[in-house]
Amino acid sequence: MQYLVDENGEVKEIFKEDESVARLKKGDRVVRGGSIEYLLGTITVKFNKFIKVNDLACLELKKYGDYIFLLFQYVGFADGILSFSNGRRLRPKFLYGLLASKRKNGSTVVKELVELEVLHKHKDGRTYYFTFNPYIAVKGNRITKELYEEFKDSKYKTLGDNLLNVSRIIEER
């Protein structure tokens, strides 16, 4: 059997083995039989907001997990700027209130997250804003060059590259 598949992996037409078909258009691609079997056995899950998380970095930062998890919803697409869904940047006062707990005040938590390279603090005129480390969590498949330059030397960048790091993190749990 031969299959015609759309860009989402859904089978549009099935052809007999001896049938020759050549209807490729610009942007079309050839999908191999093994891929077809996989696509037929799976479903694409679509989210309006989706974030990729470096699980090893989160293990490393488990003490701050609650705070980091709260911040995920505010990570900006590609630029990593902490902002509301309407694009307005989170002001420090809002961030401090969001991260305040019975154990620590919000400004202390933010200061610790900056020291841990989870966040970077920036000044824009008279206001401050924060960017989130893309090697911990990122929205989308690409990041801006500015965000890359900002975090290119992050200790979380190569966290999963070395199996010794993985075993050390797991042992500490």
| Domain ranges for the chain | 2-40, 52-172
The pLDDT of residue 171 is: 53
Half-sphere exposure of 65 (CA within 13 A, CB side): 9
CA Rg, the chain, in Å? 22
Give 125-143 pLDDT, tens digit per residue.
Answer: 999 999 999 999 888 878 8
Distance CA 83, CA 74 (A): 5
pTM over 0.85: no
Burial pattern 46-80, b for ≥16 Cβ within 10 A else e, equals eeeeeeeebebbbebbeebeebbeebeebbbbebb
Interaxial angle between packed helices 65-72 and 92-99, expressed in degrees from 0 to 180 and rounded to the nearest 10: 130
Helix (H, G, I), strand (E, B) or coil at 118: coil
Q: What is the pLDDT of residue 81?
A: 93
Q: What is the pLDDT of residues 37-58, one digit of tens each?
A: 887 888 777 766 678 888 888 8
- Asked if residue 165 has pLDDT above 70, the reply is no
